[in-house]
């Protein structure tokens, strides 16, 4: 070809009608993956990431883990395949059969277990057990529950323990450190605003810290503004302390290696920064100055501390502390199961969180580099599957709807709401009656259900706390 060498991996030969060849070169891409260009540097990053994941899994297997929670998503599928390769013939995979589980993921879980050559245990979770386990799950989690999936996980771990599981690997945290859901952050604040607008309908008039620049006059007989604020702050402080106690084993460490000049020129890392603050952009560790008492919670809950981390990373840290880890770790621990989260292990998380955002989100696809890294390890239908919603279940859509509503009525009664101090005693039941009249598919049904579950959870936690005798050492 006129003395020119054709490099097939980064050039494309096109022939014109006259038969003369021309070479169209692309200096940054050598192939395409799921419609997205793969840059030359991606392969090295992908190999480093997969190696780090493998090291994290290997370390947990060395400590005795032999069971893997397998949902059928790419995160758990990778853990299962790696564990099966590292400990052939010794691994069991566990899946949850509950009515709101995604059928495609359940089918993928069976496929992955078969290809990995591992025993697959499919744990049935009857709908009727979920409302009966609500209170137990809340007390074990030590924090409000927002949806029935957390209760199903609680039942799942109980059954796994009954069948001999004691140490289990979980894919929890992968979405947060690998940017698995790029649309989560913009959607989260909208959802939180919806929740805050609704909760104002049940709060005492003197509780004004969810307002922006406005306060409401105390209703006759209501607690003073100062007292209401004290109660809310106390509950927030307790919730934060409780969440911090749920730190994952082998969690992300507080220092990371400095980026080299060459690395920094291309893309800055997504610094993970749960309190205390992590490394700054230049790699040095600095402290965090906490703000004073927050009287207005109109801002994002992950923005209450000063930090140099990006909003995406602060949001991920908040999701882990407040939503993901408490039911995953504490729910399992209540049944005697230790859950390890390899993606949050420093061996893996340090590599993942140092990756440039451009390698993780590409063409609207989250977790892109990770999906590229595991090609050949898991089937493409699993590797390239898009994120599916997992929390569509509400009391209205449940096959045991009547029992859920009966439970809601019991815990939302004025007798349970009054002791909380910040809730209008009759308002939750009024909200429940409006909720019952909604269609299960109504967009607002999930918003109302989240608040009702939160209120029931708080009532359960309060009722349990007042029944406990004080600790002699306190």
Q: Which two tokens stand for residue 112?
A: 């992955």
Beta bridge partners of 458: none
Would you say 108 and 72 are in contact if contact means Cβ atoms under 8 Å apart?
yes
From 163, 151, 173, select the one nearest 92 (Cα to Cα).
Answer: 163
Beta bridge partners of 96: 123
CA–CA distances in Å: residue 94 to residues 71, 151, 157, 344: 8, 17, 10, 20
Beta bridge partners of 36: 33
What residues contact residue 237 under an 8 Å CB cut-off, 6+ apart? none
Would you say 54 and 82 are in contact if contact means Cβ atoms under 8 Å apart?
yes
Q: Is the peptide bond before 276 cis (omega within 30 degrees of 0)?
A: yes
pLDDT per residue of the chain (474 residues) written in tens, 0 to 9: 333 322 222 222 222 333 333 323 333 444 555 555 666 688 999 999 999 999 999 999 999 999 999 999 999 999 999 999 999 999 999 999 998 888 899 999 999 999 999 999 999 999 999 999 999 999 998 889 988 989 999 999 999 999 999 999 999 999 989 988 877 777 888 888 888 889 999 999 877 555 544 444 333 333 433 443 343 334 333 433 333 333 333 333 333 333 333 333 344 445 433 333 333 233 333 333 333 333 444 577 777 665 677 777 788 888 888 888 888 889 999 999 999 999 999 999 999 989 988 898 888 888 999 999 999 999 999 999 877 655 567 899 999 999 999 999 999 999 999 999 999 999 999 999 999 999 998 989 999 999 999 999 999 999 998 665 555 443
Distance, in Å, from the CA atom of 88 to the CA atom of 82, rounded to the nearest integer, reads 10
Structural element, H or E, at residue 94: strand 92-97
In this structure, the number of other CB atoms found within 10 A of the CB of residue 122 comes to 14
Q: How many CA atoms lie within 13 A of 253 on its CB side?
A: 9
Secondary structure (DSSP) of 230-255: HHHHHHHHHHHHHHHTTPPTT---S-
CA–CA distances in Å: residue 246 to residues 25, 316, 450: 51, 15, 22
Would you say 343 and 178 are in contact if contact means Cβ atoms under 8 Å apart?
yes
**Cα R_g (the chain), whole angstroms:** 25
What residues contact residue 269 under an 8 Å CB cut-off, 6+ apart? 256, 259, 263, 353, 354, 355, 356
Judged by DSSP in three states, 41 sits in helix
Q: Which residues of 255-280 are buried (b: 16+ CB within 10 A; e: fewer)?
A: ebeebeeeeeeeeebbbbbbeebbbe
Helix axes 184-199, 311-319, angle to 10 degrees: 60
3-state helix, strand, coil in the chain (%, to 5): 50, 10, 40
Beta bridge partners of 423: 203
Would you say 231 and 208 are in contact if contact means Cβ atoms under 8 Å apart?
no
Secondary structure (DSSP) of 299-368: S-GGGSB--SS-HHHHHHHHHIIIIIHIIIIIHHHTTT-EEE-GGGSHHHHHHHHTSBHHHH-BTTBTTH
Note the Cα 404 to chain centre separation in Å: 25
Which residue segments constitute the domains of the chain, with CATH numbers given?
A: 1-33 (no CATH), 39-179+311-383 (3.40.50.620), 394-474 (no CATH)
Residue 449 burial class via C-beta count within 10 angstroms: exposed 0-12, middle 13-18, buried 19 and up: buried
Judged by DSSP in three states, 378 sits in strand
- Evaluate if pTM is beyond 0.75: no
Q: How many CA atoms lie within 13 A of 168 on its CB side?
A: 32
Note the Cα 462 to chain centre separation in Å: 26
Secondary structure (DSSP) of 249-299: TT---S--PPPPHHHHHH--B----PSSP-B-TTS-B---PBPS--S-TTS
Q: How many CA atoms lie within 13 A of 141 on its CB side?
A: 32
Helix axes 129-141, 148-162, angle to 10 degrees: 90
What residues contact residue 318 under an 8 Å CB cut-off, 6+ apart? 301, 302
């Amino acid at each position: 070809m006129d003395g020119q060498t054709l490099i097939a991996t980064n050039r494309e030969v096109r022939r014109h009608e006259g038969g003369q060849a021309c070479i169209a070169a692309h200096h940054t891409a050598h192939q395409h993956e799921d419609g997205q260009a793969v840059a030359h540097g991606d392969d090295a990053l992908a190999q480093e990431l997969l190696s780090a994941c493998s090291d994290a899994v290997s370390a947990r297997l060395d400590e005795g883990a032999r069971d893997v929670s397998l949902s059928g998503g790419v995160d758990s599928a990778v853990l299962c395949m790696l564990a099966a390769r590292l400990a052939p013939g010794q691994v069991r995979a566990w899946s949850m059969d509950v009515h709101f589980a995604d059928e495609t993921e359940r089918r993928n879980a069976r496929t992955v277990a078969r290809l990995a050559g591992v025993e697959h245990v499919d744990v049935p979770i009857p709908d009727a057990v979920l409302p009966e386990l609500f209170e137990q799950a809340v007390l074990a989690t030590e924090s409000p529950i927002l949806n029935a999936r957390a209760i199903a996980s609680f039942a799942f771990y109980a059954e796994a323990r009954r069948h001999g599981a004691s140490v289990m690997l979980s894919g929890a945290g992968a979405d947060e450190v690998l940017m698995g859901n790029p649309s989560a952050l913009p959607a989260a604040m909208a959802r939180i605003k919806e929740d805050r607008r609704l909760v104002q309908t049940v709060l005492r008039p003197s509780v004004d810290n969810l307002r922006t620049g406005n306060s409401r006059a105390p209703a006759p007989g209501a607690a003073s503004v100062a007292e209401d604020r004290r109660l809310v702050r106390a509950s927030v402080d307790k919730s934060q302390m409780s969440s911090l106690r749920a730190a994952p084993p082998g969690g992300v460490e507080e220092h990371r290696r400095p980026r080299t000049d060459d690395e920094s020129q291309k893309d800055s890392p997504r610094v993970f920064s749960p309190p205390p603050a992590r490394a700054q952009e230049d790699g040095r560790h600095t402290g965090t100055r906490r703000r004073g008492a927050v009287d207005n919670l109109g801002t994002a809950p992950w923005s209450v501390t000063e930090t140099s981390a990006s909003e995406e990373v602060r949001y991920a840290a908040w999701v882990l502390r407040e939503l993901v880890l408490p039911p995953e770790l504490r729910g399992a621990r209540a049944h005697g199961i230790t859950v390890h989260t390899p993606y949050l292990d420093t061996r893996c998380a340090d590599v993942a969180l140092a990756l440039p955002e451009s390698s993780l989100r590409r063409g609207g696809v989250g977790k892109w580099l990770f999906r590229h890294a595991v090609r050949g390890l898991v089937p493409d239908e699993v590797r390239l599957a898009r994120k599916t919603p997992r929390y569509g279940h509400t009391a209205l859509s449940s096959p045991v709807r009547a029992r859920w509503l009966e439970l809601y009525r019991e815990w939302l009664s004025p007798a349970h709401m009054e002791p909380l101090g910040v809730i209008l005693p009759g308002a939750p039941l009024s909200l429940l009656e409006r909720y019952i009249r909604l269609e299960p598919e109504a967009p607002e049904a999930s918003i109302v259900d989240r608040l009702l579950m939160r209120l029931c959870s708080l009532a359960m936690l309060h009722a349990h706390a007042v029944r406990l005798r004080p600790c002699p050492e306190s």
